A and B are shown apart, each in its own frame.
Chain A
Amino acid sequence: MDEKDRILLQLLEENARIPLQEMAVMAGLSAPEVEERIRQLQASRVIRKYTTVIDWEKAGEEEVSAIIDLKVTPERDFGYDRIAERISRYRQVKSLRLVTGVYDLQIHITGKTMHDVARFVSEQIAPMDHIRETATHLIMKTYKENGNFFYEREEGERLPLTF
């Protein structure tokens, strides 16, 4: 990892579909050099995946999301890892993190309906061994996701010509 790699990663993080040539010019590299560097960043799993940020609500798809806090009894020899990995296997779980504070794990889940989410928590997560307590927070509205604003903002307008 050097400064040029960092530039490439920042550009890709912002827009994974940026043309190779454009990246090359900005980073001061040739297109084949950029290609090779990206290949290496993928091989070393620094680049995990290329994906798309979607506003499903806007797309007209009903979706219910929730943040669920879990209190977990860590296991001898494994700590939180084994239980966390088990929970992470469910497709409904979009992200899972070990956090400090009153609760231990925080998961973000999505489902088609309220009922889906409620059933998933009460039937799959809550009864698992080592889970002592759950707190479910339904997401009412998303304002920002992965650094992207989900609301319309009025930008200040600059004068078209200033010296």
Chain B
Amino acid sequence: MRDFISSRAKGIPPSGIRKFFDLILTMEDVISLGVGEPDFNTPWSVSEAGIYAIEQGHTSYTSNKGLFPLRQLLSKDLKERYGLTYDPEYEIIITSGVSEALDIALRAVVEPGDEVLVAEPCYVAYSPCVTLAGGSPVPVPCTEDNLFRLTPDALMERITTRSKALVMNFPNNPTGAVMDRPSLKAIRDIVLDHDLLLITDEVYSELTYEGKHTAVATIDGLWERTITLNGFSKAYSMTGWRVGYLCAPREICEAALKIHQYVMLCAPIMGQMAAIEALKNGEEEKNRMVREYRLRRNLFIDGLNRIGLTCHLPEGAFYAFPSVLETGLDDVEFAERLLSEHQVAVVPGSVFGSAGAGYLRCAYAVSREHLTEALRRMGLFISSLP
């Protein structure tokens, strides 16, 4: 029999750390700080809207772009919240989560041989999706001494004549870093000089704790060359509903829409109807969750530093990214031993790119009781080290 697997599929790495995952499933009493999603249930009125949609027989396809009322509400919401201007008719596509939006964005713009810069450490899908789109991912390291922000110097160092686009994600998974307006302005000139396209995943935009989120496309001169990706998963605790969106200038949107209509057709209608409810009435529940994340962040970061895992105060998302440097272990060793010896699961930073080596991603989207217990166990582990 022939080898049926494509070289393209062979060319992408398997997702993260399978071994780890399998180990957790065999263990009892594990506290997992390895979960990249909110621990809250979807706000009830939003779930109720989804249930009602099904009861009313809204179980069909929608238009490829998504329900128009949702795009309209979204357009208004983006304007009010971030000052982003996108026409609901031509510049917004509702997708099955940001994951799909990322894929169709990349496939809409990447030519074979194009280099796509990826600000790392980052979510594990970016580089493989670039590869699948036929491009070559080029990591741009964001380091702790710059609060894990993307700097002009780091960017300049990786740009070549083949660079076409830059993928970035702030507030960042896994570091919790944010790019404020000055730091975005600092990279603008390079983006313009090298005629780069920006693909910005802002799915954590509502989870900021020290001031409001700055949307990349609101920086002067960047709107025309930015694809904004966002979704409902993190802000409204709606990961399982699979509703995200892609916003871009009309020409790019039309290209992405062609791909979307062939590979996904549309996002699930009940999810879209739930998303409408989230935009209409979800603000208060969202604020309540954000308040709780902030409290947990303060509690957890303080605890980490106390037990000897130095950690900067992350300004967004729900991840702490402490360094394991002083423990004498590398991040993978640390995570494996912490799990097997003390039943706490964290994700080694190197999973998120080589810039993440030496760090741990700890999601504080778990109850405060679990955070406190996890800190106690981590403290025990650290004091057991020579």
Nearest A-chain residue to B303, judged by Cβ: A25
- CB pair A161–B299 under 8 Å, yes or no, is no
* Given A26-B298, A156-B41: A161 and B372 interface contact (C-beta under 8 Å): no
Q: A11–B368 Cα gap in the complex (Å)?
A: 11
- CB pair A158–B302 under 8 Å, yes or no, is no
**Which residues 347-376 of B have a CB within 8 angstroms of A?**
347, 351-352, 368, 372
- Does A162 touch B at the CB level, under 8 Å? yes
- CB pair B298–A161 under 8 Å, yes or no, is no
**Which residues 1-26 of B have a CB within 8 angstroms of A?**
15-17, 20-21, 24-25
- Does A114 touch B at the CB level, under 8 Å? no
* Given A22-B299, A26-B298: A160 and B15 interface contact (C-beta under 8 Å): no
- CB pair B351–A163 under 8 Å, yes or no, is yes
- CB pair A159–B35 under 8 Å, yes or no, is yes
- Does B219 touch A at the CB level, under 8 Å? no
Q: CB-CB < 8 A to A28: which residues of B? A: 298
- Does B345 touch A at the CB level, under 8 Å? yes
Nearest B-chain residue to A158, judged by Cβ: B35
- CB pair A25–B34 under 8 Å, yes or no, is no
Partner of B39, one of A158, A161, A163: A158
Partner of B299, one of A10, A26, A162, A163: A26
Q: A22–B39 Cα gap in the complex (Å)?
A: 21
- CB pair A162–B35 under 8 Å, yes or no, is yes
- CB pair A160–B24 under 8 Å, yes or no, is yes
- Does B254 touch A at the CB level, under 8 Å? no
- Interface size range of chain B in the complex: 20 to 34
- Does B124 touch A at the CB level, under 8 Å? yes
Q: A26–B209 Cα gap in the complex (Å)?
A: 13
B120 to chain A, nearest CB (A): 13
- CB pair B35–A161 under 8 Å, yes or no, is yes
Q: A160–B24 Cα gap in the complex (Å)?
A: 7
- Does B226 touch A at the CB level, under 8 Å? no
User: Per-residue CB proximity of A143-163 to B under 8 Å, as 1/0?
Assistant: 000000000000110111111
- Does B32 touch A at the CB level, under 8 Å? yes
Partner of A160, one of B16, B35, B39, B123: B35
**Which residues 227-256 of B have a CB within 8 angstroms of A?**
240
User: Per-residue CB proximity of A1-44 to B under 8 Å, as 1/0?
Assistant: 00000010011000000000010011110000000000000000
Q: CB-CB < 8 A to A7: which residues of B? A: 291, 295
- CB pair B295–A161 under 8 Å, yes or no, is no
User: Which of B17, B173, B295 has its CB near the most chain A CB atoms (within 10 A)?
Assistant: B295
- CB pair B345–A161 under 8 Å, yes or no, is yes
- CB pair B34–A162 under 8 Å, yes or no, is yes
Partner of A161, one of B296, B302, B303, B347: B347
Contact sample, A vs B, 11 pairs, CB 8 Å cutoff: A7-B295, A26-B298, A156-B41, A160-B345, A161-B20, A161-B21, A161-B24, A162-B35, A162-B37, A163-B16, A163-B124
- In the A-B complex, list the 7 residue pairs whose CB atoms are closest, starting with the nearest: A161-B34, A26-B295, A162-B36, A160-B24, A163-B124, A25-B302, A160-B32
Binding site for A on B (CB under 8 A): 15-17, 20-21, 24-25, 30, 32, 34-37, 39, 41, 123-125, 173, 240, 291, 295-296, 298-299, 302-303, 345, 347, 351-352, 368, 372
